[in-house]
Amino acid sequence: MNPYDSGRVPSGYGFDTNWALWSSAVAAMRAEQPNPAVIVVAGDFLAHHFPALVLAHHGKPAAVAVATMRRIELSLKRAFPHARIVVALGNNDDPCGDYRMHASGPYLNALARVWHRPLGNAGSYVAALPNDDRAIVLDDVYWSLFYDPCPGTRSNAPERELAWLRSALAATRAPQRVVLVEHVPPGIDAMSTLDAHRFLLVDYMRQADESAYLNELRAHAPQIAFAIAGHAHRSDFRVLGGVPTIVAPSISPIYANNPAFLTLAVGAGGALRDYTLVAYDARTARWAPEFDFDRVYGARRVDVATMLAAHAAIERDATVRQRWAASLVAGSPVAEVDAGDWRAAWCAQTTAGAQFEQCAHLRRRLLVIPIVGALLAIIILASVALIVLRAGSFRLR
């Protein structure tokens, strides 16, 4: 959200959300589902480069951040007075800067009052869901590859976050089920890897933290109904650590994606039956369903088995693959995955690390990096040696 953009027309490609787009999105949500039991926002409430944006308008980043979130919260409560709102914090949501999270302090306390959630535990908490299920909400930005502690923040925040998650999962007792809500998904950032022309493998999380996290997921997979992540500005799904994960789209169209949100049909025991992608088309100024998991993949539920079946269908069926690729950007004409590079995004659904390299056929390209680096080092050393020799020869003369 760019709190300074009060234009009457919803923001377009290359820009973050303005109030006109947000109001339009909330109205579309209400039209799709007037009385949802739960609303989930998987982080990144605030515009990119938020502190610099606020300072350019002579404001105080923390105060403007809290005021912006309060306005978002009020609009959701007015539209959906009976819904339980579950929110995770994203890498853009701290006035300290991008990926620079406070693990405690006045700012988190202020957000806790806005969202009526106990965010004091480094931004993570447990929330009650219908049917006696639980949402375990992670501030997993601490595990991000780019996490940089704010001044005065504990340096062991990533380790403390993992210990807290382990404790929260252990406290879940059958027949309770867990829905994990996080901002950063585990695995590979396929779009950034493609932007690097496949010469650089970009992870969402630091490998050690991701490995420990996925081990916890595997150990507690029977308790976890599904997970919801955000961050990527792309709508997709993943199966890592034995847990079906939905990657939610963004309302912000800054990366040339159409603004979009999901509606989830959740049954008894936290079982996810279906989800639908609803997108905004600026050409028609209308919101409409763009993609439905059940209809595209022929599934009656959304779990590990059906996600893996959908993953296989994307590889073998060109028509399914085209619909999936379009859904990544919510139907935007600015397609990001085409016939030549779809494997990177597809492989990221189920693999990470060395397995991803093999699946996406990246190993040969990635081997080029150390070879080129070694050649450059040799050239630099040879150049330095030549300069030293010439300098010595000059002094002798």
pLDDT tens by residue, 322-367: 999 999 999 999 988 877 789 999 999 999 988 999 998 876 444 3
What pTM value is reported for the model?
0.89
- Pull the structure tokens for residue 70: 């309060």
pLDDT at residue number 396: 46
Is 394 a residue whose pLDDT tops 50? no
pLDDT at residue number 370: 46
Instruction: Report whether 188 contacts 362 (CB < 8 A).
Output: no
Q: What is the mean pLDDT of the chain?
A: 90
Q: What is the pLDDT of residues 64-116, one digit of tens each?
A: 999 999 999 999 999 999 999 999 999 999 999 999 888 778 899 999 999 99
User: Please, how many CA atoms are within 13 Å of residue 173, restricted to the half-sphere of its CB?
Assistant: 1
pLDDT at residue number 194: 82
Mean pLDDT, residues 141-150 taken together: 91
Lowest mean pLDDT among 171-180, 206-215, 364-373: 364-373
By three-state DSSP, how is residue 276 classified?
A: strand
- In terms of pLDDT, which residue wins out, 117 or 56? 56
Give the Cα separation of 232 and 43 in Å (integer).
11
pLDDT at residue number 379: 65
Q: What is the pLDDT of residues 285-327, one digit of tens each?
A: 999 999 999 999 999 999 999 999 999 999 999 999 999 999 9
- Pull the structure tokens for residue 257: 């994606």
The CA–CA distances, whole Å, from 17 to 87, 88, 329 equal 18, 18, 16
Is 225 a residue whose pLDDT tops 70? yes
Q: At 137, which helix (H) or strand (E)?
A: strand 134-137
User: Confidence band (pLDDT; 50, 70, 90) for 369?
Assistant: very low
- Residue 344 one-letter amino acid: A
Query: Residue 97 gets which letter from DSSP?
Result: -
Instruction: Count Cβ atoms within 10 A of the Cβ of residue 392 and give its class: 0-12 exposed, 13-18 middle, 19 or more buried.
Output: exposed
pLDDT at residue number 392: 55
Mean pLDDT, residues 164-176 taken together: 91
Instruction: Count Cβ atoms within 10 A of the Cβ of residue 167 and give its class: 0-12 exposed, 13-18 middle, 19 or more buried.
Output: exposed
Query: Residue 246 gets which letter from DSSP?
Result: E
